[in-house]
Amino acid sequence: PFPVDLDSNEIDVIIPTDEQIDQNLNTMYRQMVSGAKKTRLFMGQPYRAGDQPDPGAGSVENVPHGTMHTWTGDPAQPNNEDMGNFYSAARDPIFFAHHGNIDRLWHVWRGLRPGNADFTDTDWLDTAFLFYDEEARPVRVRVR
């Protein structure tokens, strides 16, 4: 019954709603404007076969994206089967709306400065993911 702390350390500290909203606006300014002046600072560094793990997340990847994954859901579920667990996150009813909002943030970010643009890296653009449709048939979805 209170707004999320977008810069949460996974400990809920209840503060007045107006104060939380101000903190969240400051957090989003940091993540979307001052800390993301280039495409890779927003979305993260490339990760290719043979690279060391975790080459660097973008500003929005951890906050607010990751925060919402760990904050949403019921931590009392077995194995944390909610948005905070990779294998079950997509089954959470809020998942689609959450990722739609991340896409919206990308769209907003591209309009903030003339130099903010989509990726042109063909490795990224040609990446494909396998999902299953409603009849359990595999479907390949490409970034491009």
Give the whole-angstrom CA distance, residue 27 versus residue 39.
18
**Predicted pLDDT of residue 72:** 82
Spans of the chain below 50 pLDDT: none
Give the whole-angstrom CA distance, residue 9 versus residue 27.
13
**Predicted pLDDT of residue 110:** 94
3-state secondary structure of 127: coil
Cis preceding linkage at 93, omega within 30: no
The domains of the chain are located at: 17-142
**Predicted pLDDT of residue 48:** 85
